[in-house]
C-alpha cells in the first residue's frame, strides 16, 4: 500500500498535501494497490483528501502531534505506515518533508529517493527520475529495498480531483515521549503568502532597475493576495531575498496566475514557472522570449503599467 504524508498548516491542508496525495493515488494505481493519506494533528474534515485521490485517511491526533516536532512526526508516520501495511511512503519535498523522509527511511532501512519529479517506472524494477545538481541534471534511480520512501519536488506534479471523500480512521497514541526538542515560540511572518503555496504570484526582474522600485510589486501583490517572487539576477544582486528566486536554480512554482514584470523569460527562469496555469507578462521589449510562453502580454514600461493596474485593483477592491 502507498502512504502519503499530507502536510497541514494549522487546521487546513497545504497545497503540497493535495499534490502529494494525487501523486500517491497515481502511484498506487500503477502498483495495483490503494492510497492512504496520513494526517498528523487535527485538521478540519481530513476526509476531504479523498477528493484529491486518497482512498482512506488516517489522522493521528495523539499527545505531542499539535506542533511539528521531527521525532514525534516520524514516530506518528511510522505508526500509521505499520498500521496500514504500507511499504511505499510519499512526502512532499517541503522543509518538513525534507526532515521527515530520511528519518523515516533510516528507521525502516528503506530505500530513499528525494527530488522525485515523475511517477516511478515499473517496467523493470522500481525506478524513479529525480532532479540533481540544483536541477541542472536528472538521474534515474532504482530502488531495491522492500520499503521505499519518495519525496517529490513541490509543484512538480499536477493536483487531480476525484469524486467523494475518503474513509477516516483516528489514531491517538500518546507520542509526547518521543519528543527530542520543544518549540518554545513560533514567530510567523504575518500576512505573507508563502511562495510555494500561493495561487497568485507577482514577480519582478532586472527590468525594475533597483530594489527601491519593489514597493509597487509588493503593493500589487498585497491587493491580489499574492506572493512576490523574482528572477535569479535580482536575488544575486540582493535586491530581493534568495527565498524569492524562482527558476531552474531556485524554487519551482505552479500558481494559477504568474505575473512577470521586467523579466526576459530565459529558459532557466521558465523552468521554474512554466507550469503556471495563466502567465501574464509586462515587458517593454515586444521580442522578449517570455511573450511566447505568455497567455496575456502587455508591451509597456512597468513604471507606467503597474501603477495603472494598482489603481484599477484598488477600484475593484473598493
List interacting residues with ligand FAD (CB under 6 A): 205-207, 231-234, 247-250, 262-264, 266, 268-269, 272, 282-285, 288, 301-303
Q: What minimum distance in Å lies between the beta carbon of 267 and ligand FAD?
A: 7
Q: What minimum distance in Å lies between the beta carbon of 191 and ligand FAD?
A: 26
Considering the complex, state which of residue 169 and residue 248 has its C-beta at the smaller distance from ligand FAD. 248
CB 131 within 8 A of CB 55: no
Q: What minimum distance in Å lies between the beta carbon of 9 and ligand FAD?
A: 26
Considering the complex, state which of residue 4 and residue 302 has its C-beta at the smaller distance from ligand FAD. 302
Query: Which residues are registered as beta bridge partners of 137?
Result: 132
Q: What minimum distance in Å lies between the beta carbon of 303 and ligand FAD?
A: 6
Q: What minimum distance in Å lies between the beta carbon of 228 and ligand FAD?
A: 14
- Describe the chain by its helix, strand, coil percentages, rounded to 5: 35, 25, 40
User: Radius of gyration of the chain from Cα atoms?
Assistant: 21
Angle at the Cα of 251 (from 248 to 252), degrees rounded to 5?
A: 75
Q: What minimum distance in Å lies between the beta carbon of 299 and ligand FAD?
A: 9
Specify burial of residue 18 (Cβ count, 10 A radius: 0-12, 13-18, 19+).
buried
Residues 53-81: b if buried by 16+ CB within 10 A, e if exposed = bbbbbbbbbbebbeebbeebbbbbbbbbb
Considering the complex, state which of residue 84 and residue 284 has its C-beta at the smaller distance from ligand FAD. 284
Q: Is the dihedral of CA 210, 211, 215, 218 positive or negative?
A: positive
Considering the complex, state which of residue 250 and residue 297 has its C-beta at the smaller distance from ligand FAD. 250
Write phi, then psi, for 187 (nearest 5 degrees). -110, 100
Considering the complex, state which of residue 164 and residue 215 has its C-beta at the smaller distance from ligand FAD. 215
Amino acid at each position: 500500500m502507498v502512504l502519503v504524508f499530507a502536510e497541514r498548516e494549522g487546521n487546513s491542508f497545504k497545497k503540497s498535501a493535495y499534490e502529494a496525495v494525487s501523486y500517491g493515488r497515481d502511484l498506487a494505481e500503477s502498483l495495483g494497490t490503494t492510497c492512504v493519506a496520513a494526517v498528523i494533528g487535527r485538521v478540519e474534515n481530513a476526509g476531504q483528501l479523498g477528493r484529491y485521490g486518497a482512498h482512506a485517511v488516517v489522522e493521528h491526533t495523539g499527545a505531542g502531534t499539535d506542533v511539528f516536532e521531527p521525532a514525534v512526526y516520524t514516530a506518528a508516520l511510522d505508526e500509521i505506515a505499520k498500521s496500514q501495511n504500507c511499504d511505499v511512503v510519499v512526502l512532499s519535498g517541503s522543509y518538513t518533508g525534507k526532515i521527515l523522509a530520511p528519518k523515516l527511511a533510516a528507521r525502516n532501512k528503506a530505500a530513499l529517493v528525494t527530488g522525485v519529479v515523475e511517477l516511478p517506472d515499473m517496467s523493470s524494477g522500481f525506478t524513479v527520475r529525480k532532479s540533481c545538481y540544483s536541477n541542472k541534471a536528472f538521474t534515474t534511480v532504482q530502488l531495491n529495498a522492500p520499503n521505499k520512501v519518495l519525496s517529490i519536488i513541490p509543484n512538480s506534479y499536477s493536483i487531480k480531483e476525484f469524486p467523494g471523500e475518503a474513509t477516516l480512521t483516528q489514531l491517538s497514541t500518546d507520542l509526547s515521549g518521543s519528543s527530542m526538542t520543544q518549540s518554545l515560540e513560533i514567530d510567523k511572518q504575518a500576512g505573507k503568502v508563502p511562495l510555494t503555496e500561493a495561487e497568485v504570484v507577482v514577480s519582478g526582474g532586472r527590468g525594475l532597475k533597483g530594489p527601491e522600485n519593489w514597493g509597487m510589486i509588493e503593493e500589487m501583490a498585497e491587493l491580489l493576495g499574492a506572493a512576490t517572487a523574482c528572477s535569479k539576477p535580482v536575488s544575486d544582486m540582493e535586491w530581493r531575498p534568495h527565498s524569492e528566486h524562482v527558476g531552474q536554480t531556485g524554487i519551482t512554482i505552479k500558481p494559477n496566475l504568474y505575473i512577470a514584470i521586467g523579466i526576459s523569460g530565459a529558459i532557466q527562469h521558465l523552468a521554474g514557472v512554466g507550469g503556471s496555469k495563466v502567465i501574464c507578462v509586462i515587458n517593454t521589449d515586444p521580442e522578449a522570449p517570455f511573450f511566447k510562453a505568455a497567455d496575456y502580454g502587455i508591451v509597456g514600461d512597468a513604471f507606467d503599467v503597474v501603477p495603472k493596474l494598482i489603481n484599477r485593483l484598488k477600484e475593484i477592491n473598493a
